[in-house]
């Protein structure tokens, strides 16, 4: 794209203006190429994100299920694992996916389980507020205790795995005479 200072909104408006009410067969190769370049650049910069309104940047009227599944995909979290974090069965979680019936609590937990953070933006866009799950669930200590228990268990498993690999390395050093 030749004009690097153009905003995404301006580029989209320009492409839509070029296209107007034309049939696809009437659209010039240049316009198609420009649209393709924009989409390719957008994906390069933002990755394969759940699409939000490109002009306002909001998630309004989109399924929360799509956002959660995208986070799960990006962080390689399974349905079983997310169900454990949410304190429900896999079947119940699948029902929530089918009904798109996730609460804000579910979104905060899902984001945390997938190593994401939910941030709220002030309407004027001047300030941000990051939702810290520990603070968010202070009023519900059972929820935070469940989540932190899972995280502590994960840390213990990783520590045990580390110790096992460390011992194996020491054994190999002695066996093969490495320093």
Q: What is the pLDDT of residue 141?
A: 93
Q: What is the pLDDT of residue 84?
A: 97
Q: Does the predicted TM-score (pTM) go above 0.75?
A: no
Q: What is the pLDDT of residue 2?
A: 44
Give Cβ neighbours of residue 96 (< 8 Å, ≥ 6 apart): 65, 88, 102, 106
Beta bridge partners of 129: 120
Q: What is the pLDDT of residue 1?
A: 41
CA dist 163 and 157 (Å) reads 10
Q: What is the pLDDT of residue 29?
A: 76
pLDDT (tens digit, 9 = 90+) per residue, 49-72? 555 554 455 555 678 898 899 899
**DSSP states of 4-61:** TTS-HHHHHHHHHHHHTT--GGGS-HHHHHHHHHHHHHHHHHH-SPPP--TTT---TT
Q: What is the pLDDT of residue 161?
A: 96
Q: Pick out the chain residues at pLDDT < 50.
A: 1-5, 54-55
Q: What is the pLDDT of residue 10?
A: 74
């Amino acid at each position: 794209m030749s004009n690097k200072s153009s905003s995404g909104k301006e580029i989209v408006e320009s492409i839509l203006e070029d296209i107007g009410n034309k049939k696809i067969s009437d659209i010039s190769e240049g316009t198609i190429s420009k649209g393709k370049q924009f989409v390719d650049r957008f994906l390069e910069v933002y990755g394969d994100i759940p699409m939000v309104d490109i002009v306002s940047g909001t998630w309004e009227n989109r399924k929360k299920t799509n956002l959660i599944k995208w986070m799960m995909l990006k962080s390689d979290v399974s349905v079983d694992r997310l169900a454990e974090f949410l304190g429900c069965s896999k079947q119940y979680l699948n029902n929530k996916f089918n009904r798109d019936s996730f609460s804000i609590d579910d979104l905060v937990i899902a984001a945390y389980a997938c190593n994401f953070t939910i941030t709220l933006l002030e309407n004027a866009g001047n300030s941000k507020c990051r939702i810290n799950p520990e603070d968010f669930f202070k009023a519900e200590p059972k929820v935070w205790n469940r989540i932190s228990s899972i995280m502590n268990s994960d840390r213990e498993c990783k520590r045990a795995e580390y110790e096992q690999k460390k011992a194996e390395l020491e054994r190999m050093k002695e066996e093969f005479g490495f320093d």
